[in-house]
């Protein structure tokens, strides 16, 4: 099959695939929020071209291309006063593999506990917190082909309830025979289900409200359902135009999640002198009722070891979000 046919299939198939939507039917939704300002600004299309430390999120195979150690830190001012923080570290071990570690955390901040009797607050406060801790190993099998995998621990907590599970990411990247054309695959969050459990699932009931003298305060536990993680299969292409001081990179990823219809992310990056980078993209193309798709951002390389990035995302009726990140080489 010609490369042009592959590209056409990647871009068109999600527009033709339609199934019953399953929005809101998976746990730990923070796993779907992109990590890495460069990738987010390019429309969250990185599966074929992420080759810095943030590839730990987009496609673990990407860190196999590192020639030295890298660390990344980011802060994402999210919706309704919530925030996300991300830290990642990757380092090649000669003769073995490139090893990586990532931590991704969502925090809602403190919120008031309310109920029917006290709609303005009971005096108690609670918060929602999610965390991902992942370890990665990646290796180049040939000069053009790399594979990688991550094992991840995922935990969610709401007030005095919590749930946890483990998951796997598997990916590959291939530099095709067509010059500057890259291909990538990734399956993320393949793992167990999550079910919240804790004190907040306990309620007091009266087994026979029509009887007197019986115990009307028996403790019962609410049956809470288990939910899958947001499993996602990505396939994408990246192509670079130009050389020397001016390079234009074009990306397109087809996304096949288990909690929504298929869609396409696409983006571009213009690099000047390998020092200043302008980026833009559109996420969730062909997805019905998508809320916000525009992504923009820029990056500045300071010397050979420091990179600063910014990304802005349109989130539809929810407003917009900003993400800042720093990558350090060592």
pLDDT digits (tens, 9 = 90+) for 156-201: 999 889 999 999 999 999 999 999 999 999 999 999 999 988 888 8
Q: What is the mean pLDDT of residues 217-240?
A: 91
Q: Is residue 58 part of a domain?
A: yes
pLDDT digits (tens, 9 = 90+) for 111-157: 888 888 888 888 888 899 999 999 999 999 999 999 999 999 999 99
The residues that bridge with 85 in the sheet, in sequence order, are: 75, 105
Residue 221: its pLDDT value, please? 82
Residue 204: its pLDDT value, please? 82
Q: Is residue 183 part of a domain?
A: yes
| pLDDT over 60 (residue 326) | yes
| pLDDT over 80 (residue 20) | no
Supply φ then ψ for residue 259, to 5 degrees.
-120, 20
Contact 286, 260 (CB under 8 A): no
Residue 289: its pLDDT value, please? 83
Range of the domain at 65: 24-193+228-239+305-313+320-329
Predicted model pTM: 0.88
Q: What is the mean pLDDT of residues 251-273?
A: 96
CA atoms of 235 and 45, how far apart (whole Å): 10
Q: Is residue 35 part of a domain?
A: yes
Residue 270: its pLDDT value, please? 98
Q: Is residue 18 part of a domain?
A: no
Q: Is residue 82 part of a domain?
A: yes
Residue 208: its pLDDT value, please? 79
Q: Is residue 234 part of a domain?
A: yes
Report the 10 Å Cβ neighbour count for 288. Answer: 10
CA atoms of 237 and 239, how far apart (whole Å): 7
The residues that bridge with 297 in the sheet, in sequence order, are: 279, 311
Higher pLDDT, 317 or 221: 317
Q: State the total domains in the chain.
A: 1
Pick the closest to residue 270 from 279, 260, 257 (CA basis). Answer: 279
| pLDDT over 80 (residue 214) | no
Give residue 213's pLDDT band: very low, low, confident or very high (50, 70, 90): confident
Pick the closest to residue 280 from 315, 303, 248, 256 (CA basis). Answer: 248
Residue 4: its pLDDT value, please? 47
Q: Is residue 255 part of a domain?
A: no
Residue 1: its pLDDT value, please? 47
Q: Is residue 19 part of a domain?
A: no
Helix, strand counts (H, E) of the chain: 3, 19
pLDDT digits (tens, 9 = 90+) for 95-114: 999 999 999 999 999 988 88
Instruction: Give the CATH number, domain containing residue 152.
Output: 2.40.160.60
């Amino acid at each position: 099959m010609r490369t042009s046919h592959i590209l056409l299939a990647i871009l068109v198939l999600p527009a033709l695939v339609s199934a019953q939507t399953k929005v809101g039917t998976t746990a730990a939704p923070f796993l779907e929020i992109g990590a890495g300002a460069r990738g987010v600004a390019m429309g969250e299309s990185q599966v074929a071209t992420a080759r810095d430390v943030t590839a730990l999120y987009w496609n673990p195979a990407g860190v196999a291309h590192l020639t030295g150690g890298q660390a990344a830190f980011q802060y994402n001012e999210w919706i309704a006063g919530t925030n996300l923080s991300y830290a990642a570290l990757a380092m090649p071990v000669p003769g073995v593999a490139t090893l990586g570690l990532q931590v991704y955390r969502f925090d809602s901040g403190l919120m008031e506990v309310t109920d029917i009797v006290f709609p303005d607050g009971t005096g108690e406060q609670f918060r929602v917190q999610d965390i991902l801790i992942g370890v990665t190993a990646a290796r180049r099998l040939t000069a053009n082909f790399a594979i990688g995998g991550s094992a991840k621990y995922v935990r969610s907590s709401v007030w005095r309830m919590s749930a946890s599970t483990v998951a796997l990411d598997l990916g590959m990247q291939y530099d095709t025979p067509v010059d500057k054309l890259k291909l990538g695959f990734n399956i993320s969050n393949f793992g167990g289900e999550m079910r919240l459990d804790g004190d907040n699932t306990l309620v007091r009931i009266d087994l026979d409200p029509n009887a007197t003298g019986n115990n009307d305060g028996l403790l019962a536990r609410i049956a809470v359902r288990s939910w899958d993680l947001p499993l996602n299969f990505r396939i994408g292409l990246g192509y670079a135009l130009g050389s020397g001081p001016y390079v234009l990179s074009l990306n397109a990823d087809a996304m096949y999640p288990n909690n929504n219809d298929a869609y396409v992310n696409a983006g571009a990056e213009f690099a000047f002198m390998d020092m200043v980078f302008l980026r833009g993209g559109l996420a969730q193309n062909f997805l019905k009722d998508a809320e916000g798709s525009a992504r923009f951002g820029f990056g500045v390389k300071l010397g050979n070891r420091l990179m600063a990035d910014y990304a802005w995302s349109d989130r539809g009726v929810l407003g917009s979000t900003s993400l800042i990140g720093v990558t350090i080489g060592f």
